[in-house]
Amino acid sequence: MELTLKELASFAKKKGFIYPSSEIYGGVAGLYDYGHLGTLLKHNYETLWRKFFLGLNDNFYELEAANVMHENVFKASGHLENFIDPIVKCSKCDFAERADHFVTRHIKERTEGFSAEELTKLIVKHKLVCPQCKSYLQPVSVLNLMFPLQMGAAAGNRAFLRPETAQSPYVNFKLQYEAQRKKLPLGLAIVGRAYRNEISPRNLTLRQREFTQTELQIFFDPSKIESHPDFADVKNYKLRTLLEEDRKKDKVVERTAGDLLKKGLPQFYVYHLAKIQQFYLDELKVPPEKFRLYQLDDKEKAFYNKFHFDIEVELHELGFTEIGGLHYRTDHDLAGHQRVSKQSMEVMEEESGRKFIPHVLELSFGADRTVYMLLDLAYHYNKERDYVVLKLSTKLTPIYCGIFPLVKNNEGIVELAREVYNDLKKCYSCFYDEAAAVGRRYARADEIGIKYGITIDFDSLKDNCVTVRDRDTTEQTRIKISELKDKLGGMYWK
């Protein structure tokens, strides 16, 4: 049976992963809270992300920056003028939705990047009407998605919640460049909140008004974009791409990183494209057939992006969905901040004395979208067991192992189970459960993604062994308690 978004949302709420914010007051559209399991899952993803991407270069670092930023930041970036979405409204009722999403859903064609006038023409051409009251729709207009704030008591002292985390590394670049001995490439990462006044937030955490981004901004010398010192490591690695030329067939084509150079993509860009795919397939365990790198055309990508691929994963009910992207933003951002702030963003190459504004390669990932993706892919209804098994990878699952005393009214078993639990929780995320039959405890553990169930029984008092049950295979193995810690982190770490 195909998983629906409604079912996933119900499951996520029931088990304590994700649910509407301020729910006791009816919730707020586009805002979600993470429960105890959702918080652990999200943090595990962020930890894995940090380890992988900050490990790509010794000169990559993480920053933490304010969510509220000076108004001039967004004058320089172009957000005050250009950070808009097309909106379509009903002529009679209160219906309003992001226009390109509305049109795409009805005509089954991508309309990302279309102007308000082009979207209006498509609405007229296809005779689209209000889905609520069937009345005529107003011409498409635009809405700025920024959240303004009044700072302090003085009138006119305006600031904004940042609509993307990217601007924080940009305004910090010059100071960090000096602090890191003027070395390029310099990577500045942010794991933090961003805020957008979305017209029609929907699909749980896929489109929110407050969300978390995990982003890495790489500042580099544009004259060196055609090279990367580690490119040989990925040259023959096959990437699952859907280029502009593949759209008619709508079919993913596997091309090596070397093949993509022949398509006009620079080495520095392709290297990071390969690393992104490796992260999703090898670290997050996304099935290859559900993953693709989708190339945006000139109409779809932002005007300042010279190259732009979306990271897309096929989800139940929703199909291929954008989870992140790789953007070559040139010097658009630093040049804008230099113009407005009147502070030079130029750096100098020591050998030649050449001055230039660094270009930026942006690796951008939606943390909340990734959590949704992980839950969607891991959700499996097992007919034989008649319950959900959440098959999260061992590196991501909120709780790694469950400790289960076979009975709770035997002092020896309970005492030994507590000893095992207290020892293992020093190394692994653990869960102790002694309520109900052990079979029911296995089921509860499977539903929240616990990888290994460890049962302490009467034999354990005699042989100092426990039974380790695998969530996915249900296979059970007897392991000595003295070897348990090492084996859970060795042969069992898959």
Contact (CB, 8 A) for 313 and 320: yes
Give the up-direction half-sphere exposure of residue 402: CA atoms within 13 A in the CB hemisphere. Answer: 28
Position of tokens 């689209």? 128
Mean pLDDT of the chain: 94
**pLDDT reading at 82 higher than 90:** no
Taking residues 327-336, report their average pLDDT: 97
Sign of CA dihedral 447, 448, 453, 457: negative
SS3 221: coil
| pLDDT band per the 50, 70, 90 thresholds, residue 112 | confident
* pLDDT of amino acid 245: 96
- Relative to beta strand 465-470, strand 476-480 is antiparallel
SS3 309: strand
- DSSP 8-state code for residue 135: P
The Cα–Cα gap between 273 and 279 comes to: 10
Q: Which amino acid is at 250?
A: D
If phi > 0 it is left, if psi is from -120 to 50 it is alpha, else beta; for residue 436 that is: left
**pLDDT reading at 492 higher than 80:** no
**pLDDT reading at 154 higher than 80:** no
* pLDDT of amino acid 1: 58
| pLDDT band per the 50, 70, 90 thresholds, residue 493 | very low
* pLDDT of amino acid 312: 98
Contact (CB, 8 A) for 5 and 205: no
Q: Is the peptide bond before 185 cis (omega within 30 degrees of 0)?
A: yes
> How confident is the model over 432-442, as pLDDT tens digits?
999 999 999 99
Q: Which amino acid is at 201?
A: P
| pLDDT band per the 50, 70, 90 thresholds, residue 490 | low
Contact (CB, 8 A) for 89 and 106: no
* pLDDT of amino acid 491: 42
Indicate the pTM of the whole model: 0.91
The Cα–Cα gap between 282 and 288 comes to: 10
* pLDDT of amino acid 113: 82
Q: Taking the CB of residue 66, how many other CB atoms lie within 10 A of it?
A: 11
* pLDDT of amino acid 380: 95
Q: From the centroid of its chain, how far is CA 86?
A: 24
**pLDDT reading at 153 higher than 80:** no
CA–CA distances in Å: residue 18 to residues 36, 184, 208, 319, 458: 9, 40, 13, 21, 39
Contact (CB, 8 A) for 452 and 402: yes
SS3 70: strand
Contact (CB, 8 A) for 40 and 396: no
Query: Minimal CA–CA distance to 245: which of 226, 264, 227, 231?
Result: 264
> How confident is the model over 344-380, as pLDDT tens digits?
999 999 888 999 999 999 999 999 999 999 999 999 9
Q: Walk me through the domains of the chain, giving residue ranges and CATH numbers.
A: 5-82+158-377 (3.30.930.10), 84-144 (3.30.40.230), 399-489 (3.40.50.800)
* pLDDT of amino acid 494: 42
CA-based max dimension of the chain = 79
